[in-house]
Chain A
Amino acid sequence: MELQINGKPVQVDADPAMPLLWVLRDLLNMTGTKFGCGVAVCGACTVRVDGQAVRSCVTPAATLVGKRIQTIEALGTPGKPHALQLAWIVEQVPQCGYCQSGMLMAAAALLEKTPKPTDADIDAAMTNICRCGTYQRIRVAIKRAAGFPPGGPVKKRA
């Protein structure tokens, strides 16, 4: 099958049932997308398909033919990082870092649809698991990337 990954056509010889996650990781050696639970709960495997956040561990690659797949490897470039990547660095978000590819892809999908997200929007969109507990900084970094004035208090819905 032919997949569109990060703007390029990629030929893949895979079982049609094989989830995109394993096509990326084991067949294409694109390891930025992570395996965490295998049941679409933790979100470590989040990629974007036609802009939407999709959990690749349960999405057979064959169902994605003809769609635009974007992975963490193409969220930004070394010369032009995505606003979220810059915000993640400024706010010093990652700890172990394992969940952060998925977090960034989920956040990118959120900002594309909702460029100025409220706290409730962030709560609803960011359902990935971070075992290190970097959530507070993720919230602040998303707001920074969205262009909200930095340095303000962390506001939460009550």
Chain B
Amino acid sequence: MKRRTWLFSAAGATGALIVGWGLLPPRSRTGSGRIWPPAVGEVALNGWIKILADGAVVLAMPRSEMGQGVFTALPMLVAEELDVALDRVYIAQAGADTIFGNVAMLVANLPFHPQALEQRPAVVRAGEWVVSKVARELGINATGGSSSVADAWTALRLAAATARASLLGAASLQWRLPVAELTVNDGVVSHPSGKSAHYGELARFAAATPPGTVTLKERKDWKVIGQSAPRRDIPAKVNGTARFGLDVRLPGMLYAAIRLCPMLGGSPGALNANAALAMPGVERLVRLPAYAGSSAGFAVVGKSWWQAQQAALAVPVDWHQRPAGALDSHRIERELEAALQSEEGFTFHSQGEIDQAETHASRQLEAVYRAPYLAHAALEPMNCTAQVKGGKVFLWVPTQVPQMGAAIAARIAGVGVEDVSVTVTLLGGGFGRRLEVDYVAQAVRVAMDCGGRPVQLIWSREEDMTHDFYRPMHVAVLRATVDAQGQWSSLRIKSAGDAISPRWMERGIPLLAGPVDLPDKTTVGGLFDLPYGFASQHMSHVATRKGVPVGFWRSVGHSHNAFFSESFMDELAFETRQDPLALRRQLLKDQPRYLAVLDLAASQAGWGGELPAGRARGIALHESFGSIVAQVAEVSLLDGRIRVHRVVCAIDCGTVVNPGIVAQQMEGSVVFALTAALYGKVDIHAGVVQQKNFPDYPMLLLAQTPVVATHIVPSTRPPGGVGEPGVPPLAPAVANALFALTAKRLRALPLVL
């Protein structure tokens, strides 16, 4: 199937499900103030903005704070457009209205080549229009895909500017003075005549005042955007008062511990609960059905989590392997290798005459790269607090997808989705794991048996590690050829592994899951869309379904694809005796944006300059989530172990809202990616995940953390992502440095010399 064909069939299939959808008017995302719950002394001016009696502003926050700084970045957009101090912008969790749906995240999943996105032919415009429309109608409120700022960039600034225009309009009408003569300073509207009023005094009248023409501030007038405002969530995170999911405390609350079948996809047979139920503080045992192809198991409810957990561990269980047979990661790796040979796969990108280029090549290089399954290991274990009472369900949950949580809760409890209320707590890490709602389903199931009492269901670290939705294993073969002029001129990449989006859609948004899997851009991101100027290119992917539960893991396909492509670029440089930076520069001569990022990283890292004996540098460049990141890693070997001393990052993430947060995310991404590069591996034998806890799934510690320096390329483009793009280039930068140091090319993750 050609790309265009499937795109339109996808759009058609989705559209057909939403009856009459094509006839609806284009939806504004500013929304109405009526969607706020009514409150005395407060006036909602639109779906996003409410004004308090003292003139302070409340922002409806549709995104989850999981460390990426969204509770600071989005209020900054509001402070800018409304001309109020940042500390006068409070946040309240947004409701379920479709204006809060994450349009940018879904649009970014269209598998267009970056070239097409720049040139914007009709097919791209049509695709984006269709998906935007579907996304707006569905209103899927999700925090992911490094999209929060990109999505809010226009919608939220417009909502704030619209509110400001109504407030100014109200002052103008009340004072009978032209709007043009009014000024706003820190939420106070004033006129040279001496008249002045704060937003709180104008809000009621403003709610009935049409905004007139709304314009966004010009870049030169920004006072807040572009500043490193301190994060608003930090004070509570240094004194123990920040409330995560695990910290919810309710009157009469019980605790639940779980055990799921250790064999993935398996289930418990007979359970002998008598001894466990006789243990102190233990109340009951509840069987848990398998969530979306994962493992079935049971929960034990008690007065404290420790008591529940002790009892759960004491239950003798006869576990049953899944009917389709035991999963085995070693076997899956062989199967993926075989699939690369036997299956054609889906072509995501093709240009030039690759067969011809390969036939007439003067030289050829081919290599096979591998990446293992990975667990997320967010530090706050999976948890959800649920109460089922009087036909209603109440959830308190750290989640990236509150509406998907509400939907699964409604389905399980047999109530309408409007009867489910979701309170989103702070997230102790997300990284994609909290785009899943398996633990919500379990908590609701358990709460249904608890007579109306709230239950906090908490997974042990062992359950978290052994029942994740894993970053899927991938294998790729890369081949490049040199033409008669001695230039690298063709690049062919074929990869194989499970596609994530179709499985996630099936689990969470069955409405969007079609009878056949559509090609999944998230799996091939960073392989089909490379910036390098190979005259001929071909990129295909064999999407498999191996049965291991797979999910989005920070930077998704990019997390392994950058390792494949950027390590291979280094191989090409070595093969033709070129400096790795020079070869990249040569192949990027028509890509000034990439070139600027690469050059900034190289110059800041002193590429080519002297290093202490026993050290070497490696470089890598990668675009993901709308941002380009280059990293230079400086490595050595210490007693045979890989030691990364320094990582210099350069990033072009478009317009920067808060450079301090960008630096935080680069530093964090380096640690997250280095952990995976050096240690990350999930093995499955006889259906059982072998890594159980941090001792056998180790994390980088402070002592091993390199110095990370971040340099930002100035840009006036709309904002790109920041939470994920720092992850992909790290592994290849380190692998390339190791090659420079040892002449040994590592083609599998984790990196083992």
Asked whether any CB of chain B lies closer than 8 Å to the CB of A139, the reply is yes
**1/0 per position for A32-69, CB-CB distance to B under 8 A?**
11111111011010000000000000000000000000
Determine whether the beta carbon of A35 is less than 8 Å from that of B239: no
Tell me which residues across on chain B come within 8 A of A126, comparing CB atoms: 701-703
Determine whether the beta carbon of B237 is less than 8 Å from that of A97: yes
Determine whether the beta carbon of B238 is less than 8 Å from that of A88: yes
Asked whether any CB of chain B lies closer than 8 Å to the CB of A156, the reply is yes
Task: Across the interface, name the chain A residue whose C-beta is closest to B380.
Answer: A98
In the bound complex, how far is the Cα of B704 from the Cα of A136, in angstroms? 10
Tell me which residues across on chain B come within 8 A of A100, comparing CB atoms: 237-238
Asked whether any CB of chain A lies closer than 8 Å to the CB of B728, the reply is no
Determine whether the beta carbon of A135 is less than 8 Å from that of B240: no
Asked whether any CB of chain A lies closer than 8 Å to the CB of B347, the reply is no
Tell me which residues across on chain B come within 8 A of A31, comparing CB atoms: 240, 243, 246-247, 249
In the bound complex, how far is the Cα of B236 from the Cα of A78, in angstroms? 11
Task: Across the interface, name the chain B residue whose C-beta is closest to A33.
Answer: B240
User: Within the complex, which residue of A37, A98, A123, A158 is in contact with B703, where a contact is CB–CB below 8 Å?
Assistant: A123
Determine whether the beta carbon of B705 is less than 8 Å from that of A135: yes
Most buried by A among B231, B693, B701, B702: B702
Asked whether any CB of chain A lies closer than 8 Å to the CB of B660, the reply is yes
Asked whether any CB of chain A lies closer than 8 Å to the CB of B90, the reply is no
In the bound complex, how far is the Cα of B243 from the Cα of A81, in angstroms? 19
Contacting chain A: which of B19-27, B423-431, B736-744? B423-431
Instruction: Kindly provide the distance from the CB of B728 to the nearest chain A CB, expressed in whole angstroms.
Output: 15
Given contacts A27-B304, A37-B693, A44-B379, contact A73 B233 (CB under 8 A): no
**1/0 per position for B363-382, CB-CB distance to A under 8 A?**
00000000000000111110
Asked whether any CB of chain A lies closer than 8 Å to the CB of B593, the reply is no
In the bound complex, how far is the Cα of B704 from the Cα of A123, in angstroms? 8
Most buried by A among B240, B462, B612: B240
Tell me which residues across on chain A come within 8 A of B701, comparing CB atoms: 126-129, 135
Determine whether the beta carbon of A133 is less than 8 Å from that of B667: yes
Given contacts A81-B239, A131-B378, contact A96 B305 (CB under 8 A): no
**1/0 per position for A122-148, CB-CB distance to B under 8 A?**
111011111111111111000000000
Query: Using a CB-CB cutoff of 8 Å, which residues 74-119 of chain A contact chain B?
Result: 75-76, 78, 81, 84-85, 88-89, 92-101, 104
In the bound complex, how far is the Cα of B705 from the Cα of A37, in angstroms? 21
In the bound complex, how far is the Cα of B669 from the Cα of A26, in angstroms? 33
Determine whether the beta carbon of B671 is less than 8 Å from that of A135: yes
Asked whether any CB of chain B lies closer than 8 Å to the CB of A2, the reply is no
User: Within the complex, which residue of A39, A98, A101 is in contact with B461, where a contact is CB–CB below 8 Å?
Assistant: A39
In the bound complex, how far is the Cα of B307 from the Cα of A96, in angstroms? 28
Tell me which residues across on chain A come within 8 A of B426, comparing CB atoms: 96-97
Determine whether the beta carbon of B305 is less than 8 Å from that of A26: yes
Asked whether any CB of chain A lies closer than 8 Å to the CB of B460, the reply is yes
Instruction: Kindly provide the distance from the CB of A3 to the nearest chain B CB, expressed in whole angstroms.
Output: 16
Tell me which residues across on chain B come within 8 A of A134, comparing CB atoms: 664, 667-668
Given contacts A131-B379, A135-B671, contact A156 B694 (CB under 8 A): no
Given contacts A32-B241, A85-B238, A85-B239, contact A131 B695 (CB under 8 A): no
In the bound complex, how far is the Cα of B233 from the Cα of A94, in angstroms? 9
Determine whether the beta carbon of A101 is less than 8 Å from that of B306: no
In the bound complex, how far is the Cα of B704 from the Cα of A139, in angstroms? 12
Asked whether any CB of chain A lies closer than 8 Å to the CB of B255, the reply is yes
Tell me which residues across on chain B come within 8 A of A138, comparing CB atoms: 702
**1/0 per position for B681-709, CB-CB distance to A under 8 A?**
00000000000011100011111011110
In the bound complex, how far is the Cα of B694 from the Cα of A138, in angstroms? 21
Determine whether the beta carbon of A73 is less than 8 Å from that of B461: no
Asked whether any CB of chain A lies closer than 8 Å to the CB of B125, the reply is no
Tell me which residues across on chain B come within 8 A of A19, comparing CB atoms: 306
In the bound complex, how far is the Cα of B460 from the Cα of A156, in angstroms? 35
Task: Across the interface, name the chain B residue whose C-beta is closest to A139.
Answer: B702
Determine whether the beta carbon of A132 is less than 8 Å from that of B67: yes
Task: Across the interface, name the chain A residue whose C-beta is closest to B668.
Answer: A133
User: Within the complex, which residue of B246, B280, B705 is in contact with A136, where a contact is CB–CB below 8 Å?
Assistant: B705
Task: Across the interface, name the chain B residue whose C-beta is closest to A75.
Answer: B239
State how many residues of chain B have any CB contact under 8 Å with chain A. Answer: 67
Asked whether any CB of chain A lies closer than 8 Å to the CB of B510, the reply is no
Task: Across the interface, name the chain B residue whose C-beta is closest to A21.
Answer: B306
Given contacts A15-B280, A131-B377, contact A92 B699 (CB under 8 A): no
User: Within the complex, which residue of B237, B242, B429, B705 is in contact with A131, where a contact is CB–CB below 8 Å?
Assistant: B429
Instruction: Kindly provide the distance from the CB of B699 to the nearest chain A CB, expressed in whole angstroms.
Output: 5
Tell me which residues across on chain A come within 8 A of B241, comparing CB atoms: 32
Given contacts A72-B240, A89-B230, contact A97 B67 (CB under 8 A): yes
Instruction: Kindly provide the distance from the CB of B682 to the nearest chain A CB, expressed in whole angstroms.
Output: 16
Tell me which residues across on chain A come within 8 A of B703, comparing CB atoms: 123-124, 126-127
Asked whether any CB of chain A lies closer than 8 Å to the CB of B3, the reply is no
In the bound complex, how far is the Cα of B281 from the Cα of A29, in angstroms? 17
Determine whether the beta carbon of A92 is less than 8 Å from that of B381: no
Given contacts A98-B244, A98-B428, A154-B707, contact A42 B379 (CB under 8 A): yes
Task: Across the interface, name the chain A residue whose C-beta is closest to B465.
Answer: A37
Determine whether the beta carbon of A39 is less than 8 Å from that of B664: no
Determine whether the beta carbon of B246 is less than 8 Å from that of A35: yes
Determine whether the beta carbon of B428 is less than 8 Å from that of A96: yes
Given contacts A137-B667, A154-B707, contact A98 B379 (CB under 8 A): yes
Given contacts A26-B304, A88-B234, A88-B238, contact A97 B428 (CB under 8 A): yes
**1/0 per position for B37-70, CB-CB distance to A under 8 A?**
0000000000000000000000000000111110
In the bound complex, how far is the Cα of B255 from the Cα of A5, in angstroms? 24
Asked whether any CB of chain A lies closer than 8 Å to the CB of B458, the reply is yes
Task: Across the interface, name the chain A residue whose C-beta is closest to B228.
Answer: A92
Query: Using a CB-CB cutoff of 8 Å, which residues 701-719 of chain B contact chain A?
Result: 701-703, 705-708
Tell me which residues across on chain B come within 8 A of A93, comparing CB atoms: 234, 238
Determine whether the beta carbon of B249 is less than 8 Å from that of A96: no
Tell me which residues across on chain B come within 8 A of A72, comparing CB atoms: 239-240
Instruction: Kindly provide the distance from the CB of B227 to the nearest chain A CB, expressed in whole angstroms.
Output: 13
Tell me which residues across on chain A come within 8 A of B612, comparing CB atoms: 158
Instruction: Kindly provide the distance from the CB of A69 to the nearest chain B CB, expressed in whole angstroms.
Output: 14
Determine whether the beta carbon of B707 is less than 8 Å from that of A94: no
Instruction: Kindly provide the distance from the CB of B145 to the nearest chain A CB, expressed in whole angstroms.
Output: 18
Determine whether the beta carbon of B240 is less than 8 Å from that of A71: yes
Task: Across the interface, name the chain B residue whose C-beta is closest to A129.
Answer: B699
Determine whether the beta carbon of B307 is less than 8 Å from that of A127: no
Determine whether the beta carbon of B234 is less than 8 Å from that of A133: no
Given contacts A76-B239, A89-B234, A133-B671, contact A18 B304 (CB under 8 A): yes
In the bound complex, how far is the Cα of B360 from the Cα of A38, in angstroms? 60
Asked whether any CB of chain A lies closer than 8 Å to the CB of B226, the reply is no
Determine whether the beta carbon of B230 is less than 8 Å from that of A92: yes
Determine whether the beta carbon of B235 is less than 8 Å from that of A96: no
Determine whether the beta carbon of A95 is less than 8 Å from that of B68: yes
User: Within the complex, which residue of B233, B381, B702 is in contact with A97, where a contact is CB–CB below 8 Å?
Assistant: B233
Determine whether the beta carbon of B240 is less than 8 Å from that of A22: no
Tell me which residues across on chain B come within 8 A of A22, comparing CB atoms: 304-306
Tell me which residues across on chain A come within 8 A of B430, comparing CB atoms: 96
In the bound complex, how far is the Cα of B162 from the Cα of A146, in angstroms? 48
Instruction: Kindly provide the distance from the CB of A90 to the nearest chain B CB, expressed in whole angstroms.
Output: 9
In the bound complex, how far is the Cα of B246 from the Cα of A154, in angstroms? 34
Determine whether the beta carbon of B239 is less than 8 Å from that of A32: yes
Task: Across the interface, name the chain A residue whose C-beta is closest to B240.
Answer: A32
In the bound complex, how far is the Cα of B281 from the Cα of A31, in angstroms? 20
Tell me which residues across on chain B come within 8 A of A94, comparing CB atoms: 67, 231, 233-234, 237-238
The 5 A-B residue pairs with the shortest CB-CB distance in the complex, in nearest-first order: A32-B240, A133-B671, A98-B428, A97-B237, A96-B67
Contacts A98-B380, A132-B429, A135-B701 aside, 20 further interface pairs with beta carbons under 8 A come to: A34-B379, A34-B380, A38-B461, A39-B461, A42-B379, A42-B461, A89-B234, A89-B238, A92-B230, A95-B668, A127-B702, A128-B701, A130-B671, A132-B671, A133-B667, A133-B671, A133-B705, A135-B700, A138-B702, A156-B645
Q: Can you list 25 pairs linking A and B with CB atoms under 8 Å apart?
A: A18-B306, A18-B307, A22-B306, A34-B380, A37-B694, A38-B462, A39-B461, A39-B694, A71-B240, A75-B239, A88-B238, A94-B234, A95-B664, A96-B66, A96-B427, A96-B428, A97-B428, A130-B671, A131-B429, A131-B431, A132-B429, A132-B671, A135-B700, A137-B667, A158-B612
